[in-house]
Amino acid sequence: MTLLTLSMPWPTLIIIFPLCIGLFSSMASFVRLYMMTSDDGRQWVRVFTRPAPAGITWLFAAAAACMILSPAPAMQRLLAVLFTLFLFRMTLCDAITGFLPRELTLSCLIAGLVAALAESGYWGHVLSCVTAISIFSAWRYATFRMHARECLGLGDVWLAGAVAAWLGGSEGLSALLAGVIFFVLWQLLVRRVSEGGPMGPWLCAGAILVALIRLYQPLITW
């Protein structure tokens, strides 16, 4: 019985992980520069006074390192790391500013549909994307009618479609469900249900979890 097969010897993690830290730290600097040069002056102040959380950078770097070490085909691992970079950009934006720029979410969605061409079942990715956007749009509309204010941002709707486009089928929808569960648990733990908060980082966390599980299937081989 073999548990958790790897594509490389595990000591290579000593080299891969610092490289991933450097990659995501550089990406964090580019993301902050992008947000600081936006047209919204209030956003500039918010980004300037709130640096990128180091914990987010380290967690995404660890996830990318695990993806590189996975036993999946090289192309699948490469696409997974690329997906992680898209998710990292959006996580930082939403965590720091509470806002998901449309150019980030739509570029991730389009990239996901293009990446799906390299896999089988392309139309399953398209259907999953459309389904996710429809569900989150209905959720956004229903909560707005109930509370007379925006409870779910439009950026979260496009992000949901992007996650589903990358993962496809039931995996995409499972990732979104996991993200919503993470978000609800976080709201309950910090006791800010009435105040709300950014959902984007939690949807991204669900996507990372499902992407890792998919790369390491089967976990146990005989």
Rounded distance, CA 63 to CA 65, Å? 5
Is residue 2's pLDDT more than 80? no
Q: Which CA distances in Å does 203 have to 10, 93, 175?
A: 29, 13, 7
More confident site: 138 or 47: 138
Please give the share of the chain, as a percent, with pLDDT higher than 90: 52
**What token pair was written down for 174?**
């499972």
The answer on pLDDT for 86 being more than 90 is yes
List pLDDT tens digits, range 10-33.
Answer: 888 899 999 999 999 888 888 877
- Which of the four pLDDT bands, split at 50, 70 and 90, describes residue 121? confident
- Write the burial class of residue 200 (CB in 10 Å: 0-12 exposed, 13-18 middle, 19+ buried): buried
Q: Helix, strand, or coil here: 13? A: helix
Output the pLDDT for position 40: 55
**pTM score above 0.75:** yes
Which has more confidence, 151 or 88? 88
Q: Determine the Cα–Cα distance for residues 134 and 50; give it in Å rounded to an integer.
A: 34
The CA-atom distances, in angstroms, between 91 and each of 54, 95, 125, 159 are 13, 6, 22, 10
* Per-residue pLDDT at 9: 81
Place of tokens 């073999």: 2
Helices (H), 37-195: 41-49, 54-69, 74-97, 102-115, 122-147, 154-167, 169-190
Read off the pLDDT of residues 129-166 as tens digits, 9 standing for 90 and up: 999 999 999 998 888 888 777 778 889 999 999 999 99
Both tokens assigned to 66? 């695990």
CA angle 159, 125, 127 (to 5 degrees): 90
pLDDT at 1 over 50: no
pLDDT of 183 above 60: yes
Q: How confident is the model at residue 169 (pLDDT cuts 50, 70, 90)?
A: confident
Task: Give me the mean pLDDT over the 106-127 stretch.
Answer: 92
C-alpha closest to that of 20 among 51, 66, 86: 66
What does the block give as tokens for 46?
């918010």
